[in-house]
Structure 1
Amino acid sequence: MQQKKIGILGGGQLGRMLLSPAIDLDIELHFLENDSNAPCSTVSRNFHQGNITNYEDVLSFGRQMDVISIEIEKVSADALEQLEKEGKKVFPQPTIIRLIQDKRLQKQFYKDNQIPTSDFVLIDNKEELIDYLEKNEGKLPIVQKLGKDGYDGKGVQILKDLEDAKQNGFEAPSLLEDKVEIEKEISVIVARNENGETTVFDAVEMVVNEKYNLLDYLLAPARISENQKQEATKLAIEVIEKLGENGMVGLLAVELFIDKKGNILVNEVAPRPHNSGHHTIEACTTSQYAQHLRSILNLPLGKTTLRSSAAILNLIGEENHTGTPFYDGLDKLLELENVYPHIYGKKQTKPARKMGHITVLGNDIEKLKETVEKVKGSIHVITKD
């Protein structure tokens, strides 16, 4: 394989975890990120400082690369489209990134392609929001999501009643989704290369931190029926194949709801490595990061066999702690067998910020859940200032 320069927009923890499989295959990764203290800055000699949402910065960076990809969706799609016109390989394709950047367009895509998802309406401003809810008060409580710029639970809220909507409703263009009575939240990661080869990782079960609306921990494989596994896999493949004119190239995390009646609904997707795939580093034959690189370089995709049941726990910044991070309890954690901490190298912690994750391996999924609960109480991201 001829060595190629791959440009990654974003220099956070997902980019950092791409480095190890890139080194294994002698792939030259370059990162563009505005924050000079980003996680990739201290571990990559090919770290470029620049704004990934700025047209000129992305264009200049991309013109130096053979292939351009992302580790975060909030990038200049205009610049990526121009690079594609100039003959650069850009994966996932810019039109798909643009669609996924806007939850309104993403939701409409599901409807247009008969992909099961919760019912929704599009709202352009707060006035429309109030008008809709006054006419449809029976829909409350209802979920409101900003069309753009929401991440890690930001830009998503449940409106309990009309007064709540008047006080707290988003002003910007958004969508209103019927609140699903959720039995389980699961995620399926699927990869596809230019040849159309597709592989799927086993569905995982996600337990959400309701206070911060982000992943608390996950269990792999998900505790669901065989029929549900097959349906979730089928849905993930359907989404990646219907995105774009000829299907998406790259890695796609498909977040799904299983409702109280057993229906499986697509919630959202992310066209990149994802929090719900961190366990694959230790638990699978091929990690999601290696698979991402294989897919965008049109290499044969790796086997996705789950070698061990696994759980991951997000390490997030503690309340009332902002500043230089200290990982209280890490030394004790390192004494444990089949427990693998990943510290992201962020220079500052703050409440609810993702600072790392811990993977736990084992053969009994219920015991894994118990271990996660124990680990959860034994390590804390604090400041010592």
Structure 2
Amino acid sequence: MIPLFGKWEVGFGNSTYFCSTTEPMSIDNSKHYFSSDFKLGILGGGQLGKMLLYETRKFDIHTVVMDASEDAPCKIACNEFVLGNLMDFDAVYNLGKQVDVLTIEIENVNVDALEKLEEEGIKVFPPTKALRIIQNKAQQKLFYVDKGIPTAEFHRFAYKSEIEDSIANGGMDFPFIWKAARFGYDGQGVKVVRKLEDLNGLPDGECIAEELIDFKNELAVIVARSVSGEVKTYPVVEMEFHPEANQVEYVICPARIDTKVAQKAQEIALLVADKIKHVGLLAVELFQTQDDKILVNEVAPRPHNSGHYSIEASYTNQFEQHIRAILDLPMGNTRSKVAGIMVNLVGAEGYTGDVVYENMTDILKLEGVTPHIYGKKHTRPFRKMGHVTIVNADVDEARKIAQQVKETIKVISK
């Protein structure tokens, strides 16, 4: 135990914050997370949880994972697996009472249960105050406006029918982006609306209608923020999306943008993390407009698709960094060792059933290629089944190889 008295300095990024106290403060350097009775709980057993478990197994941290699926990818790698509904109060609460620290790999969880656990002394990261804002995209957008964070113009609606009324009365016009306020993921819950008929078939619950931004690039910055407030950012990445599925096809690091634009993106991402008081990883998705303004699109309070490249390309990958942050361990180096590009492997259109990865041998012959298969046994169109990382000293050469990977491998069914 190291006692601290009086005044000390804490450096966050390019800024230094000064704190003072009349009471002794202690930094505990004797926490026994490794090869011990300590238990880390993870809500969600999908691919993000599975990749988190690569890091907990490396550190020999005992894990308890809960998911609603018997076939969850996490099941093979955790110490304990609990079958349970993440939106069920009792299931989440009971899981939390078994562990010392609780985190998430998906934001669609019962926050009321997490709040009660926090009140009873269980450490929950991200904190429930942050998670309540992030879970609801309408709340997210209102938060940005309230905190002076640049974002696209939007309208909030309790029901989809209110959009039609607003259009009829001249309150808004086409085109715009419709987003469900809750439970959207992997391109679900988002649609470009160019005419009234495009609203047909969409859910009738709470939603937002957002200005369609004429952007130059879609960017992302992952911010890592520890329990004690140490903050680090990963390099700005560039994202290329599938035009129909609204899913990321490629993540490119470093983003091929001007240095001043990258700096602005980093600053805005840090502002979001600071205002929301996040702990763990926060992926901040951004638009770079035609006149190089940076607007926040939305955030994810966990490891993110835009950071998968870091497993091969960074000194400290995003999953290890999340573990470091929520356990208040020293943060790792976020710089890249080499340029990295991620290609998402998604189910091919027209195929549903037991998965087959066609031409895997061919991509393994390519230089700097590493596939990650998530362990989902059944494929369907546009379901995320894995990803491939391509590393190279030259980002443009890596992008060419990534294109070759995308055109070669096929995720089909038997």
Q: What TM-score, normalized by structure 2, do the two folds share?
A: 0.90
CA distance in 2, matches of 1:238, 1:302: 21
Which of 43, 51, 60 is residue 9 of structure 1 equivalent to? 43
- Residue 377 of structure 1 aligns to a residue whose secondary structure is helix
Task: Give runs of aligned pairs for residues 122-201 of structure 1, distance below 5 A.
Answer: 122-136=156-170, 139-165=173-199, 167-168=200-201, 170-201=203-234
Post-superposition offset of 1:163: 4.1
Which of 248, 260, 275 is residue 227 of structure 1 equivalent to? 260
**Contact between 1:129 and 1:169, CA under 8 Å: does it hold in 2?**
no
Q: Which amino acid aligns with 1:5?
A: K
**Contact between 1:201 and 1:304, CA under 8 Å: does it hold in 2?**
yes
**Contact between 1:74 and 1:149, CA under 8 Å: does it hold in 2?**
yes
User: Is it true that 1:62 corresponds to 2:96 in the alignment?
Assistant: yes
CA distance in 1, matches of 2:160, 2:132: 24
Task: Give runs of aligned pairs for residues 6-155 of structure 1, distance below 5 A.
Answer: 6-136=40-170, 139-155=173-189
In the TM superposition, what whole-angstrom CA distance separates every residue of 1:26-52 from its partner, at most 9, and x where no partner exists? 211211001010101123232211111
**Contact between 2:351 and 2:379, CA under 8 Å: does it hold in 1?**
yes
Q: Which amino acid aligns with 2:274?
A: E
Aligned-residue CA RMSD (Å): 1.2
- Residue 199 of structure 1 aligns to a residue whose secondary structure is strand
* Unaligned segments of structure 1, at least 5 residues: none
Q: Percent identity?
A: 43
Post-superposition offset of 1:183: 0.6
User: Is it true that 1:379 corresponds to 2:413 in the alignment?
Assistant: no
User: Is it true that 1:259 corresponds to 2:289 in the alignment?
Assistant: yes
CA distance in 2, matches of 1:378, 1:127: 44
CA distance in 2, matches of 1:301, 1:376: 34
The alignment covers a number of residue pairs equal to 380
CA distance in 2, matches of 1:261, 1:30: 47
Q: Which amino acid aligns with 2:364?
A: L
**Contact between 2:62 and 2:79, CA under 8 Å: does it hold in 1?**
no
- Residue 239 of structure 2 aligns to a residue whose secondary structure is strand
Q: What TM-score, normalized by structure 1, do the two folds share?
A: 0.96
Post-superposition offset of 1:170: 4.1
**Contact between 1:318 and 1:380, CA under 8 Å: does it hold in 2?**
yes
**Contact between 1:147 and 1:175, CA under 8 Å: does it hold in 2?**
yes
Partner residue of 1:250? 280
Which of 301, 311, 319 is residue 331 of structure 2 equivalent to? 301
Change (3 A) 1:135 1:376: same
Partner residue of 1:323? 353
Post-superposition offset of 1:138: 6.4
Which of 239, 242, 253 is residue 209 of structure 1 equivalent to? 242
**Contact between 1:55 and 1:78, CA under 8 Å: does it hold in 2?**
yes
In the TM superposition, what whole-angstrom CA distance separates every residue of 1:280-314 from its partner, at most 9, and x where no partner exists? 00100000000000000011110101100010000
**Contact between 1:77 and 1:95, CA under 8 Å: does it hold in 2?**
no
CA distance in 2, matches of 1:162, 1:14: 37
- Residue 324 of structure 1 aligns to a residue whose secondary structure is strand
After TM superposition, where is structure 1 displaced by more than 4 Å over at least 4 residues in a row?
none
- Residue 389 of structure 2 aligns to a residue whose secondary structure is strand
Post-superposition offset of 1:353: 0.3
**Contact between 1:134 and 1:162, CA under 8 Å: does it hold in 2?**
no
Moved more, 73-82 or 136-145: 136-145
CA distance in 2, matches of 1:336, 1:311: 14
**Contact between 1:256 and 1:266, CA under 8 Å: does it hold in 2?**
yes
CA distance in 1, matches of 2:193, 2:339: 37
Partner residue of 2:364? 334
Post-superposition offset of 1:272: 0.1
In terms of fraction of residues, the more strand-rich structure is 2
CA distance in 2, matches of 1:138, 1:193: 42
- Residue 109 of structure 1 aligns to a residue whose secondary structure is helix
Q: Which amino acid aligns with 2:149?
A: I
- Residue 224 of structure 2 aligns to a residue whose secondary structure is strand
CA distance in 1, matches of 2:71, 2:197: 42
- Residue 139 of structure 1 aligns to a residue whose secondary structure is coil
Which of 375, 382, 399 is residue 345 of structure 1 equivalent to? 375
**Contact between 1:159 and 1:169, CA under 8 Å: does it hold in 2?**
no
Post-superposition offset of 1:169: 5.2
CA distance in 2, matches of 1:133, 1:260: 27
- Residue 306 of structure 1 aligns to a residue whose secondary structure is coil
**Contact between 1:34 and 1:52, CA under 8 Å: does it hold in 2?**
yes
Partner residue of 2:23? none
Post-superposition offset of 1:176: 0.8
